């Protein structure tokens, strides 16, 4: 019988801080190999199909960028929340509301065209996401209601609201009864970056810009310092005159706006109209992206690309090997697990000890305690 | 009269999984651990219960499998948060995400298959008593387990020494540790108990409520169970009351949809989630009540200093 024991390091280990995402990825690969073997598939073959084939051609890299853009946009916003120890887990709902509010222009005013349309849509999308995120923020600051549960409940409400819109008032009358809105007119479509080689659109640029701006905010500005202080020690933050309530609003509005921007970018870029479902769980996967990227905007860009690949790989193994595309979700979940586990190594040394050992150490332990 | 009885029966069926999952989480949180993975453990219980029932043809084996699945899955959380001291919120979330994915993958071949249903209790002479007969003696076995579980947990937490110890750990793991209490061991057991309950609750969904496998069939019930614990201010009998109120909301909106009330069905479907938000706001407005009952070290990692 063995037992784990954690020994606190005198200071955080820079080595493991850098290594842990890679160790986590390696462990995920090993666990994934076991899983594929259990499913009766040759792991090497499965990995080739999962991780390499989906990015072996230029147009496929465009698809990767399309999937990575919303993940990065949402995750950089969430990273600010989580750094401040504020738990917005309803980004999926804010994404949907961003998509809905931003779509008001092309759906309600389909004749409105011109260069103003797109900026207005993106702005409305951010407003929609931020406004929806303001609800849990308001409830938390006003009544002390747990933001984890309220922000999550609002995801279900948002999904049902979108479902009602596209089946009811916003349904395309010429759509043969399909639950979808009209196709957006050309000036409401987010342009592609390089139409010659693939479908990737400006959403990816937004994601990179957002990551850069949040990086500057967090590492070069007072607000970023405030976030970190309030996150690690609310008491110290109060002494410094930082308001926790203001921070709750700041974090929720910022992450909501970015999720909303991701939502409207997805709708006007990759989809081109509203449908009952506009997200394969980007808002939840972004939580994994945020942690895998160590809550650091630059790490998040890399993590977003990795998680985008798990989506593409899931689709690839489904069509090539007949395995459920839920395999992507399993990979994502495992990855987060291993990342969190490996993060322990940053602050602690892990020792494996037999059960008999503590007795022998009993005497010096007392000495140490004094 | 018959209609009333039928409605009461369906409310009990809707409330039972919420009650069981919430009672399990209540014990976990009383020990100072916040496991946000209820939804994930529940869906794993649902797929495990359905699968075992479907493959063996026995709903009882399904029931056991659901419990085992939930407990096993919670062990993952326990190792991470208790032995490796990871962030409980993030680990719980990842447990939910992993559970939703894993269950979807495991259940691919179960979609559309007929499931096994646990038989309702039928005691000759008693079940046929008018009105109360079916309510008291004619429900599914898990219903009775849920009531017994509530009573047992209430007794355990507030009437036994071990229960007192568990609560003291939840209020201050440092003091408990200083007194020589094995904090981590207690918490392991609490988390596994919570997992077993969540698994059982999931098993109720796929073996009683709707005996079939549908992806994401928990539909947020695990999260509602988490809210119920807060709503009940960590008291077992209040969890029961809360679960039945939510069961009534859930059934009420289904009936309203069936009656064709001129309100969008999506609005009705969102009522349980909106009700959760409203209830959480109402309960958290009462600062004294929540402050007094919240386990003080809830959600904080603990590493024994040897």
Instruction: Answer whether B105 sits within 8 Å of A327, measured CB to CB.
Output: yes
pLDDT at B130: 77
Alpha helices (H) in chain B, listed in sequence order: 2-30, 38-56, 59-78, 88-106, 132-137, 141-159, 161-171, 173-178, 183-204, 221-231, 236-258, 265-269, 271-285, 287-293
A366 located within any domain: no
pLDDT at A360: 44
pLDDT surpasses 60 at A358: no
B65 alpha carbon, distance to own chain's centre: 16
pLDDT surpasses 60 at A367: no
A359 located within any domain: no
The whole domain housing A302 covers 2-353
Q: Please report the number of interchain residue pairs, chain A to chain B, with beta-carbon separation below 8 angstroms.
A: 144
As a whole-number percent, the residues of chain B with pLDDT over 70 amount to 99
A365 located within any domain: no
pLDDT at A222: 85
Instruction: Answer whether B276 sits within 8 Å of A153, measured CB to CB.
Output: yes
- With bands split at pLDDT 50, 70 and 90, how would you rate the model's confidence at A2? low
Q: Which of residues 136-175 of B touch A (CB under 8 A)?
A: none
Q: Which of B91, B93, B281 is opposite residue A139, by nearest beta carbon? A: B281
A360 located within any domain: no
* Total domains present in chain A: 1
Whether the CB of A244 is below 8 Å from some CB of chain B: the reply is: no
- With bands split at pLDDT 50, 70 and 90, how would you rate the model's confidence at A253? very high
Backbone angles phi, psi at A12, to 5 degrees: -65, 140
| pLDDT, average across residues A37-43 | 86
H helix and E strand count, chain A: 15, 2
Q: What's the mean per-residue pLDDT of chain A? A: 87
Which of A325-339, B53-67, B74-88 has the lowest average pLDDT? A325-339
The better pLDDT of the pair A221, A102 is held by A102
pLDDT surpasses 90 at B169: yes
* Residue B231 near residue B272, CB atoms below 8 Å: no
pTM above 0.95, yes or no: no
pLDDT at A350: 80
As for the ipTM of the complex, it is 0.88
Measured in angstroms, the CA of A71 and the nearest CA of chain B are apart by 15
List own/partner pairs for B161-170 with CB under 8 A and 24 or more apart.
B166/B27, B166/B30, B166/B31, B166/B190, B167/B30, B167/B295, B169/B31, B169/B32, B169/B297, B170/B29, B170/B30, B170/B31, B170/B32, B170/B295, B170/B296, B170/B297, B170/B298
pLDDT at A274: 93
Measured in angstroms, the CA of B133 and the nearest CA of chain A are apart by 37
A159-192 per-position pLDDT tens digit: 999 999 999 899 988 888 889 998 898 888 888 8
Q: Which of A6, A288, A330 is opposite residue B85, by nearest beta carbon? A: A6
Instruction: Answer whether A328 sits within 8 Å of B97, measured CB to CB.
Output: no
Give me the domains of chain B, ranges plus CATH numbers. Answer: 2-293 (1.10.3470)
* Residue B146 near residue B11, CB atoms below 8 Å: no
Percent helix, strand, coil in chain A, to 5, is: 70, 5, 25
Measured in angstroms, the CA of B274 and the nearest CA of chain A are apart by 7
Which of A2-11, B1-10, B258-267 has the lowest average pLDDT? A2-11
Q: For residue B63, give both structure tokens.
A: 């029931």
A361 located within any domain: no
Measured in angstroms, the CA of A302 and the nearest CA of chain B are apart by 20
- Minimum CA–CA partner of A324 in chain B: B105
pLDDT at A22: 86
Picking from B88, B97, B174 by the largest number of A CB atoms within 10 A of its own CB, the best residue to mutate is B97
pLDDT at A366: 41
Q: Which of residues 262-301 of A touch B (CB under 8 A)?
A: 284-285, 287-288, 291
Read off the CATH number of the domain in which A163 is found: 1.10.3470
A313 located within any domain: yes
Instruction: Answer whether B91 sits within 8 Å of A340, measured CB to CB.
Output: yes
* Residue A105 near residue A121, CB atoms below 8 Å: yes
A281-320 per-position pLDDT tens digit: 899 999 989 988 889 999 999 999 999 998 898 888 888 8
List own/partner pairs for A211-216 with CB under 8 A and 24 or more apart.
A211/A72, A211/A76, A211/A297, A211/A298, A211/A300, A211/A301, A212/A297, A214/A76, A214/A77, A214/A79, A214/A80, A214/A297, A215/A296, A215/A297, A215/A298
pLDDT at A354: 66
Q: How far apart are the first and last CA of chain B?
A: 64
pLDDT surpasses 80 at B290: no
A61-89 per-position pLDDT tens digit: 999 999 999 999 999 999 999 999 899 99
Whether the CB of B99 is below 8 Å from some CB of chain A: the reply is: yes
pLDDT at A355: 56
Whether the CB of B258 is below 8 Å from some CB of chain A: the reply is: no
B259-285 per-position pLDDT tens digit: 877 888 889 889 989 998 998 898 888
pLDDT surpasses 60 at A365: no
pLDDT surpasses 80 at A362: no
Across the strands, what pairs with A107?
A: none
Contacts with A179 from chain B: Cβ below 8 Å? none
pLDDT at A117: 92
Q: Which of residues 262-291 of B touch A (CB under 8 A)?
A: 264, 266-267, 269-270, 273-274, 276-277, 280-281, 284-285, 287, 290
Measured in angstroms, the CA of B207 and the nearest CA of chain A are apart by 23
């Amino acid at each position: 019988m063995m037992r784990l024991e954690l020994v606190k390091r005198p200071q955080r280990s820079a080595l493991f801080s850098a290594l842990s995402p890679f160790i986590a990825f390696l462990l995920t690969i090993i666990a994934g190999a076991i899983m594929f073997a259990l499913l009766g598939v040759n792991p090497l073959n499965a990995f080739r199909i999962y991780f390499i084939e989906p990015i072996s051609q230029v147009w496929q890299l465009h698809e990767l960028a399309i999937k990575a853009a919303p993940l990065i946009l949402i995750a950089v916003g969430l990273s600010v929340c989580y750094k401040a120890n504020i738990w917005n887990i309803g980004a999926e709902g804010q994404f949907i509301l961003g998509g809905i509010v931003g779509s008001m222009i092309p759906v309600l005013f389909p004749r409105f065209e011109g260069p103003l349309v797109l900026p207005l849509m993106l702005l409305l999308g951010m407003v929609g996401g931020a406004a929806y995120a303001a609800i849990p923020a308001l409830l938390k600051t006003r009544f002390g209601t747990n933001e984890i549960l309220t922000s999550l409940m609002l995801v279900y409400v948002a999904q049902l609201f979108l479902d009602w819109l596209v089946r009811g008032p916003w349904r395309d009358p010429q759509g043969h009864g399909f639950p979808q809105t009209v196709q957006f007119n050309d000036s409401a479509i987010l342009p592609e970056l390089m139409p010659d080689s693939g479908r990737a659109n400006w959403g990816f640029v937004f994601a990179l810009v957002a990551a850069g701006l949040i990086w500057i905010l967090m590492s070069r500005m007072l607000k970023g310092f405030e976030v970190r202080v309030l996150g690690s020690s609310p008491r110290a933050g109060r002494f410094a005159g930082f308001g926790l309530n203001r921070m709750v609003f700041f974090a929720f509005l910022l992450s909501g706006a970015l999720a909303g921007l991701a939502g409207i970018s997805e709708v006007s870029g990759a989809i081109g109209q509203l449908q009952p479902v506009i997200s394969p769980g980007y808002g939840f996967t972004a939580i994994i992206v945020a942690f895998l990227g160590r809550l650091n905007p630059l790490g998040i860009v890399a993590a977003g690309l990795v998680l985008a690949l798990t989506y593409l790989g899931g689709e690839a193994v489904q069509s090539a090997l007949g395995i459920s595309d839920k395999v992507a979700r399993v990979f994502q979940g495992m990855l987060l697990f291993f990342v969190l586990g490996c993060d322990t190594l940053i602050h602690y040394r892990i020792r494996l000890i037999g059960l008999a050992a503590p007795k022998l150490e009993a005497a010096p332990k007392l000495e140490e305690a004094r | 009269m018959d209609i009333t009885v039928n409605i009461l029966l369906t409310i009990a069926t809707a409330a039972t999984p919420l009650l069981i999952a919430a009672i399990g989480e209540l014990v976990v949180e009383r020990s100072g651990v916040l496991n946000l993975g209820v939804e994930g453990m529940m869906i794993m219980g649902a797929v495990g219960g359905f699968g075992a029932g479907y493959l063996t043809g026995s709903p009882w084996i399904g029931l056991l499998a659901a419990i085992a699945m939930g407990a096993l899955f919670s062990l993952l959380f326990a190792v991470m948060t208790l032995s490796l001291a990871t962030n409980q919120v993030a680990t719980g979330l990842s447990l939910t995400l992993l559970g939703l994915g894993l269950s979807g993958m495991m259940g691919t071949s179960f979609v559309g298959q007929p499931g096994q249903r646990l038989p309702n209790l039928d005691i000759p002479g008693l079940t046929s008593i008018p009105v109360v007969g079916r309510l008291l003696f004619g429900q599914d076995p898990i219903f009775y387990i849920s009531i017994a579980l509530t009573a047992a947990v209430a007794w355990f937490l507030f009437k036994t020494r071990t229960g007192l110890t568990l609560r003291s750990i939840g209020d201050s793991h440092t003091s408990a540790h200083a007194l020589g209490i094995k904090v981590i061991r207690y918490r392991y057991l609490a988390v596994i108990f919570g997992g077993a309950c969540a698994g059982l609750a999931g098993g109720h969904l796929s073996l009683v409520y709707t005996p079939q496998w549908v992806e994401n069939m928990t539909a947020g019930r695990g999260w509602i169970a988490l809210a119920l614990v807060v709503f009940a201010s960590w008291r077992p009998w209040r969890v029961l009351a809360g679960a039945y109120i939510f069961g009534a909301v859930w059934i009420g909106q289904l009936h309203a949809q069936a009656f064709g009330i001129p309100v969008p069905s999506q609005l009705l479907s969102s009522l349980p989630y909106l009700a959760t938000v409203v209830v959480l706001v109402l309960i958290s407005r009462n600062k004294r009540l929540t402050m007094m009952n919240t386990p003080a070290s809830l959600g904080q990692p603990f590493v024994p200093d040897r």
